Structure 1
Amino acid sequence: MPKNLFGFVLLMGRRHQIAIAALSIILFLAGTAPLEVQRRIINAVTGGTPYPAILLLVLAYLGLVLLEGATKLMLNLYRGWIGEVAIRWLRLSVLSVSEHSGEAPIDALAEGVQLSIVLAEAEPVGGFVGTSISEPLLQAGILVAVGGYMIFLQPLMAFAVAVVFFPQVGFVPLMQSAINRRVASKITVMRHVSEGMIEQVVTSEALNAQSDRVQTLFSTNMSIYRIKFTMNFLMNLMTQLGYAGIFALGGYYVVTGKTEIGTVVAFISGLSKITDPWGALVDWYRDLKVTQVKYAMIRDASIDAAAVQDAGPLHRQEPALVP
């Protein structure tokens, strides 16, 4: 297995990552067009434009939304497929260690680790492959495109919106580091649970040990939930402050005749278009850090298993991605 997570991503298929990235670029470039059409519809309605012209704008808006949705559907399906290919590769790679072991005995700990990887750990690591490059490219592209459009419409209002995201740059990495430590501890405990199930030793000490591990998993998960949902609460609070800023500053500009009502509506829609990709970027960052921890543990377990079973170096084979 490659030494790092992105080496594994490239092993799963460079051509597919390039194709997914191309779809992501098309999607974020088309992201600002519906906002502009929406702004023109509002201004046309309030400005006394003939109805046939308004209807044409509405049809154009529907066409753009349909194109954007179809492109996103293709992207999601493609990312899901490449992710499943990576999951299959990981599971087969771990199973091949057992097959190459011959008659060599496998202790309960090694077997428990293999069981945990095949049933639970491979899926989130392999699933990340599909979004590893395209997700940050897509969401950052949307942020840049929509943010640039908002700056073009009204720079001061755009700055007021941007300010609410600055604190998140500080508290998100700190809280994610705390989550990562708990995830590593959780995986270790789950492997020990698998080990205990394989040993099938029914004694009071063994049962108590398993009960303690289950309780540890419960406490660890609850700790992760507290940090994760507190982070979500703070991010949502920042977003609502952004809406309040748009209402206050935009309302002042409309009352004083410095901007049109359509611009305020475009900013409200634009903030939702910025909030979603920003949240997706934060989720991707969280997944990246957690997946790096999980991948490192899978890689180390595979190396240890191969060494203990005297199977020699793992046979590294480029997976056949295209049927």
Structure 2
Amino acid sequence: MECPALPQTLMGYVVRCSGRHQVGLAVLAAGVFGLSSVPLELQRRIVNDAIKSGSGRTILWLALAYVAVALLEQGLKLALNVYRSWVSEDAVRTLRKTLCTLDEGEPAAANPAPARDDGETGTHAAMVVAEAEPIGGFVGMAISEPLMQLGTLVSVVGYMAYIEPWTLVLSLGLLGPQMLFVPPMQRAINRRAGARIRTIRHVGGDIVESGAPEEDRIERVFALNMGIYRIKFSMNLAMNFMHHLAVAVALGVGGLFVLDDRLQLGTVVAVVSGLGKLNDPWRDLVNWGRELSVDAVKYRLFADALQHRGLATA
């Protein structure tokens, strides 16, 4: 892939440099989330047939079908992850080649450019070594990741609501409150991430210029990193608590319904498993949003630096 000029936005870069591959990744992602609710139904049927003293032959076939679906789902995930990795690494390579090509083209003999100062050299080194990696790494997951996770959420919530309507309220109770505290916490992370990138660039310039960075800047990077960790892990704690609270409600309410013969045990098992399948894609979707926000900041700084050095943005 070649990108003669960097687009203004990160998603614009994703489409420009990997548009055809994003289609293939989206197809694989659709295959993965299309299978997401099938294991839940197989679990439900196996448990209910076992409790009802159903046919052993039927239970065996359902178990074999479960294994086959699991293998197919994991095989699609393997293909998706390998393909994503290739697209991401290709994007990283393209960004680094863009920098190297820019270097080879300056200064021109007829119009010599001014010598680059040490601070700019340090910034350039940081861009080649560190900043291209996360930006390019996001390219592989830019479209397929939210598609797969949103598809999984819709599929699992729809299945749970189909087998037992009250679980829809439970699902919304799990996800709804998180929509209140996740966005502001993510914005706080984004602010610190942008400040961290700028500070690290200054650290790189200090090393090139004087051989050692300023101590204040090192302390600044440390403080920003710790701020990011505190917010990130606090957010994870709150999300985990909401998940376990939902599981407790499902077990409590479902157990009472089973005692009153209003619900089959297999349905409770499927609901609890479904909550686990909701927790993972929701967490991955939040992580994707975090990566999008942070890497968009990195990309904007990266593109601005290249524009300053003579590469136009599209």
Does the residue aligned with 2:140 lie in a helix, a strand or coil?
A: helix
User: Relative to 1, partners in 2 of residues 1:143 and 1:11: Cα closer, same or farther, differing over 3 Å?
Assistant: same
**Alpha-carbon offset, residue 314 of structure 1:** 5.1
1:158 to 158, 162, 168: 168
The CA distance in 2 between the partners of 1:191 and 1:237, in whole Å, is 38
State the AA in 1 paired with 2:169: F
The CA distance in 2 between the partners of 1:146 and 1:76, in whole Å, is 22
Correspondence 1:218 to 2:222: yes
Correspondence 1:140 to 2:150: yes
User: Relative to 1, partners in 2 of residues 1:315 and 1:50: Cα closer, same or farther, differing over 3 Å?
Assistant: closer
| TM-score (structure 1 length as normaliser) | 0.91
**Alpha-carbon offset, residue 170 of structure 1:** 1.2
Does the residue aligned with 2:177 lie in a helix, a strand or coil?
A: helix
Match of 2:295 in 1: 291
State the AA in 2 paired with 1:200: S
Match of 1:6 in 2: 11
Asked whether the 8 Å contact 2:7–2:313 carries over to 1, the reply is no
The CA distance in 1 between the partners of 2:259 and 2:171, in whole Å, is 20
2:195 to 185, 198, 208: 185
Match of 1:62 in 2: 67
2:250 to 240, 246, 250: 246
State the AA in 2 paired with 1:54: I
2:118 to 102, 108, 111: 108
Write the deviation string for residues 2-21 of structure 1: whole angstroms up to 9, x where unpaired: 01111100111211101100
**Alpha-carbon offset, residue 162 of structure 1:** 1.9
Write the deviation string for residues 113-149 of structure 1: whole angstroms up to 9, x where unpaired: 1101111011111010000000000000000001000
Does the residue aligned with 1:164 lie in a helix, a strand or coil?
A: helix
Does the residue aligned with 1:13 lie in a helix, a strand or coil?
A: helix
Match of 1:302 in 2: 306
Asked whether the 8 Å contact 2:307–2:313 carries over to 1, the reply is no
Match of 1:119 in 2: 129
Q: Which moved more, 1:156-165 or 1:215-224?
A: 156-165
The CA distance in 1 between the partners of 2:23 and 2:221, in whole Å, is 39
Correspondence 1:73 to 2:83: no
1:260 to 250, 257, 264: 264
The CA distance in 2 between the partners of 1:124 and 1:222, in whole Å, is 19
Does the residue aligned with 1:3 lie in a helix, a strand or coil?
A: coil
Match of 2:55 in 1: 50
Match of 1:35 in 2: 40
Residue correspondences, number: 304
Does the residue aligned with 1:95 lie in a helix, a strand or coil?
A: helix
Asked whether the 8 Å contact 2:32–2:73 carries over to 1, the reply is yes
Asked whether the 8 Å contact 2:92–2:135 carries over to 1, the reply is yes
Match of 1:309 in 2: none
Asked whether the 8 Å contact 1:157–1:249 carries over to 2, the reply is no
**1:14-33 correspondence to structure 2 within 5 Å:** 14-33=19-38
Gaps of 5+ in 2: 1-5
The CA distance in 2 between the partners of 1:4 and 1:161, in whole Å, is 34
Correspondence 1:232 to 2:236: yes
Match of 1:204 in 2: none
Write the deviation string for residues 130-173 of structure 1: whole angstroms up to 9, x where unpaired: 00000000000000001000000111123123212111111111
Runs of 4+ in 1 over 4 A off after TM superposition: 313-316
**Alpha-carbon offset, residue 50 of structure 1:** 2.4
CA-based RMSD of the aligned residues comes to 1.4
State the AA in 1 paired with 2:70: V
The CA distance in 2 between the partners of 1:315 and 1:170, in whole Å, is 36
Write the deviation string for residues 264-321 of structure 1: whole angstroms up to 9, x where unpaired: 0000110001110000000001001001100000000001122xxxxxx4599xxxxx
**Alpha-carbon offset, residue 215 of structure 1:** 1.2
Gaps of 5+ in 1: 202-206, 307-312, 317-323
Correspondence 1:199 to 2:226: no
The CA distance in 2 between the partners of 1:91 and 1:148, in whole Å, is 44
State the AA in 2 paired with 1:221: N
The CA distance in 1 between the partners of 2:170 and 2:48, in whole Å, is 23
The CA distance in 2 between the partners of 1:143 and 1:161, in whole Å, is 10
